Amino acid sequence: HSIYALAAEQQVSIKKESGKTVPIIATGHLTTVGAKSSESVRDIYIGTLDAFPSSAFPPANYIALGHIHRPQLVGGLEHIRYCGSPIPLSFDELNNDKTILLVEFANGEFKEAIAKEVPRFQPMHLIKGNLEKIESEINTLAKQYELSQPAWLDIEVSTQDYLNDLQQRIQSMVEDLPLEVLLLRRERKQRLHSIDSQSKETLQELTPKDVFEKRLALENWEGKDLQEKRQRISQAFDEVVDDLINESELYTVEK
């Protein structure tokens, strides 16, 4: 709020000098109460950021938020919004239109936000089913694209059998086709129902948090004190992962 106070002072100063009322626009990168996320949004629990209430925002004329990839209002307020990511950042976002927002002001006050659809240049597809169904869909998709711009695939295999050559089988299906498999995984409910399958999960099928939780599960956490300790350790891990990913994203942008 001290930053907002400085902005408000500057707003008054500009109006005195020019006679124009400029809007105060705030930005933030956080999760707010009730925001709908997607699988590509990292689970972070740092302080109160995971449940930041809309009532705690300063009275800016417009607040543009990031971190949640789906466009949405915050607390039903027209001037506090996530515009969403301009491109799909996970395959569960493929059915969502990607937009940017053109925000208009009148005399410094928010007037409206107009969504402008962002064209999609990289084809992406999610394929689910048994090996026979997957191969059929791969052959159908292959006819739609050229080798110069292959489509990206997320393939989820449903089978009762554990196939130790699953990756090789899928790769042979897309060999020499304008298709690139970015993610290959077994149907999660099949892995959860089979202890034997769980023991054979590969790192490709697990997130860093999955691996960390499996390691924590090997320890004894009985009792309130130990449970609280586990929660602190888990939160510290989330902070480290979030810092590393943010540094990686910043490096990519600067590069």
Better pLDDT: 250 or 78: 78
The whole-model pTM stands at 0.65
Q: Which of 232, 227, 229, 201 is nearest to 214 (CA)?
A: 201
Res 189: pLDDT = 62
Q: Are 86 and 49 in contact (CB under 8 A)?
A: no
Separation CA 98–CA 117 (nearest Å):
6
Better pLDDT: 159 or 46: 159
In this prediction, residues 23-32 reach a mean pLDDT of 90
**Would you kindly state where each structural domain of the chain is located, as residue ranges?**
2-117, 122-205, 207-255
Q: What is the pLDDT of residues 35-84, one digit of tens each?
A: 666 555 444 433 334 567 888 899 999 999 998 888 889 888 999 999 99
Residue 234 has pLDDT above 70, yes or no: yes
Separation CA 159–CA 244 (nearest Å):
35
Separation CA 55–CA 111 (nearest Å):
20
- Taken in order 30, 31, 36, 37, is the CA torsion positive or negative? positive
3-state secondary structure 201-218: CCHHHCCHHHHHHHHHCC
Q: What is the pLDDT of residues 94-106, one digit of tens each?
A: 888 899 999 999 9
| CATH number of this structure's domain 2-117 | 3.60.21.10
Res 186: pLDDT = 83
Q: What is the pLDDT of residues 137-146, one digit of tens each?
A: 999 999 999 9
Residue 159 has pLDDT above 60, yes or no: yes
Percentage of the residues of the chain whose pLDDT score is greater than 90: 45
Residue 240 has pLDDT above 90, yes or no: no
Q: What is the pLDDT of residues 106-122, one digit of tens each?
A: 999 999 999 999 999 99
Better pLDDT: 24 or 230: 24
Separation CA 192–CA 196 (nearest Å):
10
Percentage of the residues of the chain whose pLDDT score is greater than 70: 80
Res 47: pLDDT = 37
* Cα 235 → chain centroid: 19
Res 36: pLDDT = 61
Q: What is the pLDDT of residues 169-216, one digit of tens each?
A: 999 999 999 999 998 888 866 555 544 444 556 666 678 888 888 888
CB under 8 A, 24+ apart: contacts of 133-138: 134/170, 134/173, 135/173, 138/173, 138/174, 138/177, 138/179
In this prediction, residues 227-241 reach a mean pLDDT of 86
Half-sphere exposure of 171 (CA within 13 A, CB side): 4
Residue 4 has pLDDT above 80, yes or no: yes
Residue 12 has pLDDT above 50, yes or no: yes
Q: Looking at the domain covering 122-205, what would its CATH class be?
A: alpha beta
In this prediction, residues 18-34 reach a mean pLDDT of 88
